[in-house]
Amino acid sequence: MKLHLEGPTTQNRFSGYGPGYVVVNGTRHERSVVVLPERLIADWAPASVDALEAAHLAPLVALDVEVLLLGTGATSRFPSPEVLRPLVAARIGVEVMDVHAAARTYNILLAEGRRVAAALLLGAPSA
């Protein structure tokens, strides 16, 4: 699915998505990624909810966001409370949803001026 932009921007926005990928500002990403308005962390280590650990989320606390959208693949799968503990302890809101819903929600929150990040689990990195 292609999402439409309302003109040029310096902020990272999702401009499309499909099975196993997202498009940020016209660039396709097929590996897990963390997207913030002014920063993008490509090739984020975890590939799935099963591989996600608290150590993967702990560095995201320093990103100064009020809400983190965790896209867990094609379906919404909640990680264990222990995995989410670094974000909860830092009082960062966490919303768990499928990747496509996370991309849409990120764009809406970004347009509202919210301090948002989307951490998307896009499957196993290709060799």
User: Model pTM?
Assistant: 0.90
Distance, in Å, from the CA atom of 61 to the CA atom of 66, rounded to the nearest integer, reads 10
Number of H helices, E strands in the chain: 3, 8
Q: Map out the domains of the chain as residue ranges.
A: 14-120
State both tokens at 28. Answer: 């396709």
User: CA–CA distance from 43 to each of 9, 34, 112, 120, 121 (Å)?
Assistant: 23, 8, 27, 10, 10
**pLDDT tens figures, 4-61:** 555 556 899 999 999 999 999 999 999 999 999 999 999 999 999 999 999 999 999 9
**pLDDT tens figures, 65-104:** 999 999 999 999 999 999 999 999 999 999 999 999 999 9
Distance, in Å, from the CA atom of 109 to the CA atom of 113, rounded to the nearest integer, reads 6
Return the CATH number of 14-120, one of 2.40.10.170, 2.40.10.10, 3.40.1230.10, 1.50.10.10: 3.40.1230.10
